[in-house]
Structure 1
C-alpha cells in the first residue's frame, strides 16, 4: 500500500467499490500519523479532493455516511480509526457546493454533529469542512452560519470562529467584516452572561477558539478590528480581557501593529509578556 501514497487513482477506485473499502480504510489508518499530535492533513486534503465535483456516485456517497457515523466508542481520540470519520466530514464539505439539496441537508447534519463531538479532532474536522465550503463559495458558508448562529451553543460558536479564521477566506474585505461581526456577536453574548457557564469545558473550548481567531480577523481588517478589540478591552470583564490580551499577544498583531497593541494593553492596565 505504501506505493499508493499521494496517488489519487487508486483512491478513486476504492471509494467506488464497496469490496475495496476495507483496503482503503486500512491504508488511511496506516498513513494517519495517529496516534500523534498531528494527523496526516495532506492525505486528508487529497481524499477530500476526490469529492470536489458533482459526479459523486451513490457508492462513494455511502462511504462518507458510513465513515462519518463511526462513533467514539469504535474510534476514540487519537486512534488511527478516528482518521476515517475525520476524513469523511472534511470531504463532505468539499462536496457540499456540488451536491443536490437532499445531500446538502445530510452534510449540514454531519457538520453539526461533528461540531458537537466530544473528540477535539472531529470538531476540527467540522471547522475544516466549513472552510472547504467557504473556499468554494463564501456565500454558501455565510448562509449556513446565519442559520446556525441563532441557536448555536458554545461548541458550535467555537467551530464558527475556527472555520472563519482561515486566511483564504479573508481576501475579500466584505468577508472579513462579516467574520468580525460574527465574532463580536459571540463576544457580546459572553459579556452579557454572568460568570463562567455551568458547562466549563465547553466554555473553555470556545474561549480558546476566540483567543486566537480574533487576531486573524483583525490582521485582515485592522481599522475595524482594533475598534472591536477596544470595545471589549473597555468591558472590565476578566473573561473578555483574557481573550483580548491573548489576541494582542499574537505575532500577527504585535509585530505589525505595535502601537495599537500597546495602547489597548495600557487601556486594560496590562503590560507586555
Structure 2
C-alpha cells in the first residue's frame, strides 16, 4: 500500500462507507464557503488521497455521486459546492490507476464540468485535467485533440487553463503542443469560425490573456513568432490578448527586446 496515502488525513474516512456522512460534513465545514476563496488546501489533500490503486468501490461511487451534483443540489458559493469541487480533482488524481471504464467516466465528468455554469466547477475541471496531464500527458492530448474541432469557448478555455501548468511544461514537446493548440484557437477567433457568446468569450479571453505567456516563456522563439502573427491584426479582441501577455512579468522582464519588437508591430 502506498505509504504516502496512509498519512493522508482523509485516508481513514475513505476506508469505511459508514463514515462518508461524517466526511461530507467535514469537507463542507472546512470549505470556507460562502466566501471569495474556497479551501484549496483541503481540496488538494482530499484529491491526493486518491492518487493510488487502493481506491475501494465505495469510495469511487462517492466521487461519482458528488461530481454528479447539479447546481440546484450544490449551488455556487454554497458549502455543498465544495463536494463536487473536491471530487472532480480526486478523479484527476485517480485517473492513472483507474480501469478503462472508470477512466472514461473521469473524462466525461471533466468534459461536463468544462461547461458548468458554476465558475468554481470550471476551475475544478482544469485542475483535474492538470492532475491527469502530470501523470499521462498523452491522455490529455488525446482528449483535447478529440474535442478541439468542435470545442466551444468554455472548452477551449479549459484547454489553455489546464495546459498552463508548469509541472506539465518541463518537456519541450508539451510546450510546443500547448502553443500549437493555442494558435489554432486564436486562428478560429480571428477567422470568425466559431460563434462565441459574450460571456463565454470573456471567459476564454481571460484564459488566453495569461496562459499564452506561460507557454511563450518556455519556448520563446516559437512563442513570440505566434504573438507577432496576431499582433498585426486589426481585431481588437486579438490585440487585447496579445497586449495582456506582453505585459506579464515573465515576458516583460526576461524578454524585453522581444516584447518591445511585438509592441512596435502592434503600434505600426
Residues 144-155 of structure 1: pairs in structure 2 closer than 5 A: 144-155=143-154
1:224 to 215, 222, 229: 222
Structure 2 match to 1:15: 14
Secondary structure of 1:37 counterpart:
coil
Per the alignment, residue 246 of structure 2 pairs with 248
Q: Which moved more, 1:148-157 or 1:164-173?
A: 148-157
Residue aligning to 1:113: 112
Q: Displacement of 1:21 after TM fit?
A: 1.2
Match of 1:258 in 2: 256
Q: Please identify, of 123-132 and 247-256, the stretch whose mean Cα deviation from structure 2 is larger.
A: 247-256
| Structure 2 SS opposite 1:54 | coil
- Does the CA contact (< 8 Å) of 2:252 and 2:259 recur in 1? yes
- Kept in 2: contact 1:31–1:40 (CA 8 A): yes
Contact 1:8 1:46 in 2 (8 A): no
Match of 1:4 in 2: none
Cα-to-partner distance string for 1:114-172 (whole Å, 9 max, x where unaligned): 10000001000000000000111211211111112122111000000000001111111
Q: 1:33-182 to 2 correspondence within 5 Å?
A: 33-182=32-181
Scaled by the length of structure 1, the TM-score of the pair is 0.92
Q: Which runs of 4+ in 1 moved over 6 A?
A: none
Output the CA distance in 1 between the equivalents of 2:162 and 2:50.
19
Q: Report if the CA contact (8 A) 2:8-2:49 is conserved.
A: no
TM-score by length of 2: 0.94
For these two proteins, the number of residue pairs brought into alignment is: 263
Name the CA shift for 1:170/1:9 in 2 (closer, same or farther; >3 Å).
closer
CA shift, 1:198, in A, is 5.3
- 1:61–1:230 Cα change, 3 Å: same
Instruction: Identify the match of residue 197 of structure 2 among 193, 196, 199.
Output: 199
